[in-house]
Amino acid sequence: MSKGIIDCDVHPYPRNIEEIRSYMQMPWRDRYSGSGRGFFGNPVHGSRQDAKPPVGRPEGSDPEFLRKQHIVPYNVDHAILLPRAFCNLLPDPDFASAIAAAYNDWLADTWLGKYNPDGVFKGSITIAHQDPIAAAKEIERWAGHPHFVQVMTDSGARAPFGQRQYYPIYEACERLGLPLAIHPGTDGMGINVQPSPGYPTHYIEWHTCLSLGFQAHLVSFITEGVFERFPGFRVVLVEGGSAWVPTLIWRLDAEYKALRYEVPWVKKRPSEYLRDHVRVTSQPLERPDNDKFLLNNLEAMDAEHIMMFSSDYPHWDFDSPKQSFPKLPEALHNRIFCENAREFYKLNTPK
């Protein structure tokens, strides 16, 4: 079997706004003018300076350039694609759902269709969690597609994700065998709550603290009993960092020991749910000056079983498969860079 990499966070972009608008019905087509996240944008450059295709298209919009720059040189067996629709910040759930549906149609026709003769690209079903029932229907619409391997939503929300209003999404994911990927991007924007005590002043502050929302959602999933109610439901925490995982779960285990009377539906220690139901992607990898500390942290979080490699191509904080990690034991390297994702997504080696 090939030992190629599985990259769990690659961002494809449309070549222009008309690509998305062409999949929208009226009145949404006329209303849609792009779905940027509004503010807290990178003040310098949001993508790698060398990631712009030579034909002048936006970064991440040319599949052949992506193959040449990323897939081939790093021996990537599969790239898990996460489009950036940013529909989760909108107050109108119908408009948000229409944007999500258009992105899914576009991705299926292009990156998972005519751009994908070898099956290297695998996709994520974008949903608008403002309307969980509509989101569940969108999941059902695409669940049989051979190249959609997960559902995705932004971490930005009005409530922690363990709460019951989101249950239709989790029921659909469990029933159809698709994990839910959570990606940062609309925290504190539009209708969403900012996870810090208030609004940061600068992008560097906002970007550094993106993991706060992930921590809140993870604790909510566990303490609300989501994994007991939906025992086949699985979650991927994408681009939220990972260094915080061991200390958060240690604290939650300790809290559970004293307070489990309050949450009798939680039948196991929180750390057990983590390994059984949750995966984290590696980017952005918090790498200290002393590699020993990173290796200790990977061991503490059980990275051998829960971490999957991601690059965040083509963004400015891209993690190179060859440079982001220190030298790892061969077995650990294979688990992080390939086998965990291959097992989790049930992937075969492409032809």
Is residue 182 a part of any domain in this protein?
A: yes
> pTM, whole model, 2 decimals?
0.96
DSSP 241-271: -STTHHHHHHHHHHHHHHHGGG-TT--S-HH
How far is Cα of residue 21 from the mean position of the Cα atoms in its chain?
24
Please give the average per-residue pLDDT across 206-234, as a whole number: 97
End-to-end Cα spacing for the chain: 11
Give dist(CA 190, CA 89) in Å, integer.
5
**Angle, in degrees to the nearest 10, between helices 211-223 and 245-259:** 30
Is residue 351 a part of any domain in this protein?
A: no
Is residue 350 a part of any domain in this protein?
A: no
* 61-119 per-position pLDDT tens digit: 999 999 999 999 999 999 999 999 999 999 999 999 999 999 999 999 999 999 999 99
* 39-52 per-position pLDDT tens digit: 888 888 788 888 88
Closest CA to 286 of 318, 245, 328, 242: 242
CB 319 within 8 Å of CB 15:
no
| Residues 6+ positions from 150 with CB-CB distance below 8 Å | 80, 124, 125, 178, 179, 180, 181, 236, 345
For residue 1, what pLDDT band results from cuts at 50, 70 and 90? Answer: very low
CB 149 within 8 Å of CB 124:
yes
% of the chain at pLDDT higher than 90: 89
Q: What CATH number is given to the structural domain containing 46?
A: 3.20.20.140
DSSP 40-76: ---SS-SB-TT-S-TTSPPTT--HHHHIIIIITTTTE
Is residue 177 a part of any domain in this protein?
A: yes
Number of domain units in the chain: 1
Structural domain of 199: 5-345
CB 11 within 8 Å of CB 315:
yes
